Structure 1
Amino acid sequence: MRLDRRDFLRLSALGGGTLALGPAFWQAAYAAPAEPGPGPYGAMSGSADANGLRLPAGFSSRVVARSGRVVAGTSYTWHSAPDGGACFPMNGGGWAYVSNSETSSGGASAIRFDGGGAIVGAYRILSGTRTNCAGGPTPWGTWLSCEEHGSGRVWECDPTKSSQGVARGALGTFAHEAVAVDPDDGRLYLTEDTSSGRLYRFTPSAWPVLTAGTLEAAKVTGDPMAGTATLTWVVCAATSPASEQSSVASKTTVFSGGEGCWYDSGVVYFTTKSNNRVWAHTPATGKLEVIYDASLYSGSPLTGVDNVVVSRSKDIYVAEDGGNMEICIITPGTPRTVSPFLRLEGHSSSELCGPAFSPDGRRLYFSSQRGTTGSSSGGYTFEVTGPFR
């Protein structure tokens, strides 16, 4: 997984959001939590399309993979319980969509697309793990796959070809959910999906190598709802959850049910399902804010907050674990609004996972983990195409 400087810069430009707006913009844009309001694409259609999706006008969908079935145009059988995912630009054009498998046999797979969006390959990139939930892409073009169990680790994978990931034990041993890489500050941020979970950050000893470094857990000072909160950090061991380290647990803050995590334009976004909140942390200032809280407004559309991704237009897309199976958008403005973007019907016993945009921002990928059957063997992976701003 060696990468030269030219490739690092290219992948950084293609794989993440532009830094042009910077953290000051977001501190102004998210001065108060989002409230229900109209979305940028108008209302969803009144009825579902052939794939069960209700979408705004001008958008369409296709199924690109189903668990237990061969991916069209390939000889590869798609994994069960598709979960967290991300897209990666490929040398020579096109991209790959990577997806975890949240099963006892775990692992991760990838679907490769050409420049026109046609499927040209599918393959395994991680085996020999279990309960791979979410994760995150790196600016140097690898996928960090997170195991969600008590002795879970983070595995670094090559999404470009059939391969085998490498365990990165320095990133901690706990029920990992997601990870976001901050290339400006040279750190990684990680969520933990337990009732006693913490928010962690990892500072590599030699950026961007993940074999060694310092792991810390967060402590909140102030009121994040009032915009007065900041984070400080307490060093912890990488061999067990922070909640089980007596010298750390009492000095750090519980983020119960940590879920999705994404870095964009100087801000780390993450979600906690225990209280249906979306958070924003600005590493440059230490500031922590709540930018969405479902309890603030009656009939708030976003519940069961889970995986999160930021689009090129700086809208925050949040997938739901349960509820009415929507992906919702939090849009900056005055006021800030939250609205449904899509709804998947007929999958009521499932959850939506792995939202990710193609490198050109024109296609959104995501999965229904348990599909229409409610079984991990019934998963679907979708693509939505349309006039994304």
Structure 2
Amino acid sequence: MSSAPRRLATRRQVLAGSAATAASVAFTGAFTELFSGTADARGHSGYGPLVPDPDGLLDLPKGFRYRVLSREGDPLRSGEGLVPSNHDGMAAFAGSHGRVHLVRNHENRVTGRIAVPTVEGLTYDPMGKGGCTALELDGRGHVRGERVAIAGTAVNCAGGPTPWNTWLTCEETEDKAGTNGYTKDHGFVFEVDGADPRRTGAVPLTAMGRFQHEAVAIDPRNGIVYETEDAFEKPFGLFYRFLPERPLGGRGSLRAGGALEAMRVPGVPDLSVIQETGATFDRIEWVPVPDPQAAQTPIRHQDFGPKGITHAQKLEGCYWGGSSVYFVSSFAHSAEGSAADHFGQVWRYEPKRRRLTLVIVFGPDTDVQLPGESPDNICLAAGGGLMVCEDGGGAQHVLGVTRRGEVYAMARGAQNIGTDEEPEWGEFAGVTFSPDGATMFVNCYTPGTTFAVTGPWR
């Protein structure tokens, strides 16, 4: 879990005049305190206050209920072993006869509580402890199957769905063979078919780059894949796009290769300096990555020419919505090397216009019971707007953001993994909706728990 961001003492100057001119910046709003309190407390849209759960698992608004689908340490229904730890990114896919297939990441490192069991034909590196599991739900939402979907990968953080109903799982590491006991290089994207994992196997999509992957989103019009990089130290990660040789070719088509490029915002070497919602950048550039395999040098350290490249700390969630791709910077700390501080940003990139806009800025927390920092995984809510998983200090929430930019708390974790004197709650991850929009699925990272939430969704 990331450490809680520190309160900003002053608002920072966004850009020097010369940089602003070069980047065609236009400020259209100022909502930096948008997330400083719950929306329902201010009379805004939402589902009302959260009701404490008597079972101590998940607090929800009145009228909503949850079902626990899976918990770490329980036996997998397939008999392959135990449900692994560190529940992270996830997606839901429609199956036959009203069934739903959930594919769930497990962000296990070399040392972890419960590794993903190795299964013949589905294991990339026997020394990798991460991977994915797949759950099958019937038309009433009951679990009918749970099995290993891929094993032998490492630090499977997030990913994203494809238009052909498979899951792209991402390794958030750059460890090579011989490091930490691994027998193969890591830092890749893998395709997983939740309905039948053996149709995809355990094959790295190497052309999509080897770096500390976080999440991906695919433009359904042309098959371009957008990728975030959550690098842990300066220089921080990049925002990428992958141009596949066989766009929208269906399951297995991404193995055909393609070209990897990184985003350059002219005049902006670090996105953290942008502090105003509505800040808009036209003429976004895409620069070919010199060595996507990072054979000698990590991509973010490579030479992108005299104009450089644009970095950002904690690039995490990534999601396609409408005609745009949204991506998240969870926070930026100048003490850790960022050019400025912030509590979380959500960006929107419009490919047709080559336009980048800062659409949401998170504000400081004033109470551990209120949302306000470190957005992580995001998805589009069934009724419009966004759902955001919070990953910061204090209480952990799933936050809703309406189309009008109003925020409300949708869920709060109630599983105390600390002590009575110093409580702590596991972050949320993997928020996603069933194909019919009637159920929200979400993970608690620690202790690994997968919830299905139903109720009066609008």
TM-score, normalised on structure 2? 0.72
Which has the higher Rg, Structure 1 or Structure 2?
2
2:201 aligned with 1:157, yes or no? no
| Contact 1:95 1:112 survives alignment (8 Å) | yes
Q: Is there any run of 5+ residues in structure 1 with no aligned partner, and where? A: 1-29, 372-378
Q: Is there any run of 5+ residues in structure 2 with no aligned partner, and where? A: 1-27, 110-128, 175-185, 268-273, 332-341, 417-423
Alignment of 1:30-45 (within 5 A): 33=31, 35-36=34-35, 37-38=39-40, 40-45=45-50
Report the equivalent of 1:213: 258
Identify which of 130, 150, 159 aligns with 2:154.
130
Query: Which string of whole-angstrom CA distances, capped at 9 and with x for unpartnered residues, describes residues 10-30 of structure 1?
Result: xxxxxxxxxxxxxxxxxxxx9
Query: What is the distance in 2 between the residues matched to 1:46 and 1:78?
Result: 29
Report the equivalent of 1:326: 397
Tell me the matched-pair count.
350
| Contact 1:41 1:57 survives alignment (8 Å) | no
Query: What is the distance in 1 between the residues matched to 2:190 and 2:303?
Result: 27
* Bigger mean CA deviation after superposition, 232-241 or 143-152: 232-241
Cα 1:106–1:250 shift into 2, 3 Å = farther
Query: Which string of whole-angstrom CA distances, capped at 9 and with x for unpartnered residues, describes residues 36-82 of structure 1?
Result: 433543323342242521111210012111111125x6645311111
Identify which of 313, 322, 337 aligns with 2:383.
313
Report the equivalent of 1:183: 220
Report the equivalent of 1:198: 238
Give the letter aligned to residue 292 of structure 2.
A
Q: Give how far 1:149 is off.
A: 0.5
Report the equivalent of 2:410: 341
Report the equivalent of 2:420: none
| Contact 1:87 1:358 survives alignment (8 Å) | yes
Identify which of 235, 239, 247 aligns with 2:293.
239
Which SS does the other structure have where 1:263 is aligned? strand
Query: Which string of whole-angstrom CA distances, capped at 9 and with x for unpartnered residues, describes residues 180-213 of structure 1?
Result: 0111132010000014100000111121221211
| Contact 1:45 1:57 survives alignment (8 Å) | yes
* Bigger mean CA deviation after superposition, 32-41 or 253-262: 32-41
Q: Give how far 1:245 is off.
A: 1.0
Q: Give how far 1:175 is off.
A: 0.2
| Contact 1:367 1:380 survives alignment (8 Å) | yes
Give the letter aligned to residue 164 of structure 2.
W
Q: Give how far 1:155 is off.
A: 0.3
Q: Give how far 1:118 is off.
A: 1.4
Give the letter aligned to residue 135 of structure 2.
I
Identify which of 317, 329, 334 aligns with 1:272.
329
Cα 1:386–1:46 shift into 2, 3 Å = closer
Give the letter aligned to residue 115 of structure 1.
G
Q: Give how far 1:279 is off.
A: 1.2
Report the equivalent of 2:270: none
More strand by share: 1
Identify which of 160, 167, 179 aligns with 1:143.
167
| Contact 2:50 2:410 survives alignment (8 Å) | no
Query: Which string of whole-angstrom CA distances, capped at 9 and with x for unpartnered residues, describes residues 305-344 of structure 1?
Result: 11111023222001011331100011112xx212211111
Alignment of 1:240-389 (within 5 A): 240=294, 241-247=298-304, 251-274=308-331, 275=342, 276-295=344-363, 301-323=371-393, 324-333=395-404, 336-347=405-416, 348-371=424-447, 379-389=448-458
2:187 aligned with 1:118, yes or no? no
Query: What is the distance in 1 between the residues matched to 2:58 and 2:50?
Result: 9
Q: Which runs of 4+ in 1 moved over 6 A?
A: 296-300
Cα 1:206–1:123 shift into 2, 3 Å = same
Which SS does the other structure have where 2:384 is aligned? coil
RMSD of the alignment, in Å? 2.3
Cα 1:346–1:312 shift into 2, 3 Å = closer
Report the equivalent of 1:94: 99
Cα 1:242–1:162 shift into 2, 3 Å = closer
Query: Which string of whole-angstrom CA distances, capped at 9 and with x for unpartnered residues, describes residues 250-288 of structure 1?
Result: 521012111110001111111111231111111111111
Which SS does the other structure have where 1:42 is aligned? coil
Report the equivalent of 1:10: none
Q: Give how far 1:296 is off.
A: 7.7
Give the letter aligned to residue 100 of structure 1.
N
Q: Give how far 1:290 is off.
A: 1.5
Cα 1:64–1:182 shift into 2, 3 Å = same
| Contact 2:385 2:403 survives alignment (8 Å) | yes
2:280 aligned with 1:228, yes or no? yes
Q: Give how far 1:33 is off.
A: 4.7
Which SS does the other structure have where 1:92 is aligned? helix
Give the letter aligned to residue 204 of structure 1.
P
Report the equivalent of 1:19: none
Query: What is the distance in 2 between the residues matched to 1:91 and 1:350?
Result: 34
| Contact 2:414 2:425 survives alignment (8 Å) | no
Which SS does the other structure have where 2:98 is aligned? coil
Report the equivalent of 1:173: 210
Query: What is the distance in 2 between the residues matched to 1:33 and 1:94?
Result: 41
Identity %: 33
TM-score, normalised on structure 1? 0.84
Alignment of 1:3-82 (within 5 A): 33=31, 35-36=34-35, 37-38=39-40, 40-71=45-76, 75=79, 77-82=82-87
